[in-house]
């Protein structure tokens, strides 16, 4: 398995005999389900899954390459681990020091017959496997279909909460397990809140409406933002007061995507977007990073930020999401997920990024 090979290569580099994985994020590729329960122990020669009765049957059905161990009152975690430590000859065991509580770490230190070494496995998730990319593409396809549906569905007179509810229900109909994060729907002046929550505000014709949402599918996340113009009356994209702002954000987003390729640093991609917004006079109104890596978690490392010098590699997946937020007037954000390829960057969505009128279906 590519996953175990990558992990064993890491063990050699870190000079560890094994690693105990306890976090939901780093267990999921091994267990096949997302749960806070259970553990994975990987050594240079073997791999073990330790879980209780609730999950044993489901995990065991697809645990090829792993030895299963049932945890219960007669076989608690520390007892089973000490048996495996002795059997495998483990002298130094890595554990996720950045994910484990102080209390748990102390209990392991006192109860395990091994030398413990704190480590982080998150960097191993930066470059995605082919299986991970397939799951991310599926999550993106759900978000793509949802964006098309919700743009055609929105009408004046609805509330932001109603739009969020319809959006999340549609994602589940398309196969999402649940949303990747709390859905954002912000209309009119509330669009100036980068992470504001949907409210009971009535959506009016001629307002901009920003939707930031994503689907979690098979454990992997999508993340997408589009800003639409609510149809009605004489609403027209070119005549909207924030049309120039929209075009600035779009230009910044396209510039950042064009900058993505192996060998480029994350800060260079951030600068490609930020320079355009700053030159347009809106630098003070773009106060967040240009994007972030995404996978099992919706926000992963690295980030498209001014200070992140991480060098891009093929099969990394990051969002590109510049925005401009004007208090009292509204805001614009446009976001895609982009796969770093050997040649550049592949946008994982097909949803148009021109300023679209809601309620229309001619472009679908």
Beta sheet of 178-179, edge-to-edge order: 178-179, 215-217, 220-221
pLDDT of 362 > 80? The answer is no
* Rounded percentage of the chain residues whose pLDDT exceeds 70: 98
Q: What is the mean pLDDT of residues 187-214?
A: 97
The pLDDT-based confidence of 363 (bands split at 50, 70, 90) is: low
Three-point CA angle 118, 13, 19, nearest 5°: 40
Q: What is the pLDDT of residue 171?
A: 98
Q: Is 49 helix (H, G, I), strand (E, B) or coil?
A: strand
Whether 69 and 79 have beta carbons less than 8 Å apart is answered as no
Buried b (16+ CB within 10 A) or exposed e, 106-119: eebeeebebebeeb
Q: Is the pLDDT of residue 360 over 80?
A: no
Q: Are strands 92-96 and 47-51 parallel, antiparallel or unpaired?
A: unpaired
What pLDDT band is residue 178 in, cutting at 50, 70 and 90?
A: very high
Q: Is 206:186 a contact under the CB 8 Å cutoff? A: no
1: confidence class by pLDDT, cuts 50, 70, 90? low
pLDDT tens by residue, 110-147: 999 999 999 999 999 999 999 999 999 999 999 999 99
Residue carrying the six token digits 């925005």: 323
Position 86 pLDDT exceeds 60:
yes
Cis amide prior to 302 (ω within 30 degrees): yes
Q: Are strands 47-51 and 67-70 parallel, antiparallel or unpaired?
A: parallel
Q: Pairing mode, if any, of strands 92-96 and 323-326?
A: unpaired
Q: Write out pLDDT tens, residues 288-332.
A: 999 999 999 999 999 999 999 999 999 999 999 999 999 999 999
| Residue 361 confidence (pLDDT) above 80 | no
Cα–Cα distance between 167 and 161 in angstroms, integer? Answer: 10
Percent of the chain having pLDDT more than 90?
A: 94
Counts of helices then strands in the chain (DSSP H, E):
9, 19
Burial profile 235-260: b = 16 or more Cβ within 10 angstroms, e = fewer: bebeebebbebbbbbbbbbbbbbebb
Q: What does the pLDDT average to over 23-45? A: 93
pLDDT of 295? 97
Q: What is the mean pLDDT of the chain?
A: 96
Angle subtended by helix axes 77-88 and 102-111, to nearest 10: 50
pLDDT at 239 exceeding the cut of 90:
yes
- Which pTM does this prediction carry? 0.93
Classify the phi-psi angles of 25: left when phi > 0, otherwise alpha if psi is within -120 to 50, otherwise beta. Answer: alpha
Q: What is the pLDDT of residue 294?
A: 98
Please give the residue that has the higher pLDDT: either 235 or 159. 159
């Amino acid at each position: 398995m590519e996953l175990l090979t990558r992990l064993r290569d890491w063990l050699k580099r870190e000079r560890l005999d094994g690693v105990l994985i306890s976090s939901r994020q780093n267990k999921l590729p091994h267990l096949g389900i997302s749960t806070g329960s259970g553990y994975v122990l990987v050594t240079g020669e073997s791999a073990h899954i330790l879980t209780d009765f609730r999950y044993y049957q489901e995990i065991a059905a697809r645990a090829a390459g792993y030895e299963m161990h049932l945890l219960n009152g007669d076989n608690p975690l520390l007892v089973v681990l000490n048996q495996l430590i002795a059997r495998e000859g483990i002298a130094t065991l890595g554990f996720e020091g950045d994910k484990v509580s102080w209390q748990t770490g102390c209990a392991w230190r006192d109860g395990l017959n091994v030398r413990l070494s704190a480590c982080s496995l998150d960097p191993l998730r930066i470059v995605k496997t082919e299986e991970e990319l397939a799951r991310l593409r599926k999550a993106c396809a759900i978000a793509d279909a949802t964006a098309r549906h919700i743009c055609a569905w929105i009408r004046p007179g609805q509330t932001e909460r109603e739009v969020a509810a319809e959006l999340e229900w549609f994602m589940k109909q398309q196969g999402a397990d649940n949303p990747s994060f709390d859905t954002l729907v912000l209309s009119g002046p509330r669009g100036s809140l980068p992470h504001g929550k949907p409210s009971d505000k009535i959506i009016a014709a001629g307002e901009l409406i920003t939707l930031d949402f994503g689907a979690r599918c098979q454990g992997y996340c999508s993340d997408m933002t589009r800003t639409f113009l609510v149809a009605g009356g004489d609403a027209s994209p070119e005549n909207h007061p924030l049309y120039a702002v929209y075009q600035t954000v779009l230009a910044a987003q396209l510039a950042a995507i064009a900058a993505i390729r192996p060998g480029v640093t994350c800060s260079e991609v951030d600068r490609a977007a930020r320079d355009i917004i700053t030159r347009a006079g809106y630098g003070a109104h773009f106060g967040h990073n240009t994007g972030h890596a995404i996978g099992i978690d919706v926000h992963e490392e690295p980030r498209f930020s001014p200070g992140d010098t991480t060098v891009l590699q093929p099969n990394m997946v990051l969002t590109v999401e510049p925005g401009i937020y004007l208090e009292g007037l509204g805001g614009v954000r446009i976001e895609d997920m982009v796969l770093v390829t050997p040649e550049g960057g592949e946008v994982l969505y097909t949803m148009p990024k021109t300023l679209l009128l809601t309620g229309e279906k001619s472009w679908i």
